Amino acid sequence: MDLTRIRALREDNDKTQQEIADLLCIKQTTYSKYELGRVAIPIDALMTLADFYGVSLDYLAGRSDEKGK
C-alpha cells in the first residue's frame, strides 16, 4: 500500500482528515492511523476512496502510476 498516495490525494483535493473520515464513517483519529500506516485500511474503505477520488485501486496500492480507472 502506498500510503503517501492517500494523503496526497486528500491534500490535492483540499480535504481535511475529518472530511474524509466523515466520508468513511470513521473517527478522524482512525483515518490518521490509516495515513500513518498504523492501521490497515479495510478494502471497503479503499473502494470508497478510489471512487471518491476517481482513481483505481491499483493506483492507491502503488501498483500503477495511472490514476484512471
The CATH number of residue 34's host domain is 1.10.260.40
Q: Residue 40 and residue 12: Cα distance in Å, rounded? A: 22
Within a domain: 34 = yes
pTM over 0.85: yes
Q: Which domain holds residue 52?
A: 3-61
Cβ(56)–Cβ(68) below 8 Å: yes
SS3 17: helix
pLDDT of residue 69: 63
Residue 69 included in any domain: no
When divided into structural domains, the chain yields a total of 1
Q: pLDDT tens digits, residue range 3-51?
A: 899 999 999 999 999 999 999 999 999 999 999 999 999 999 999 999 9
In a domain, 66, yes or no: no
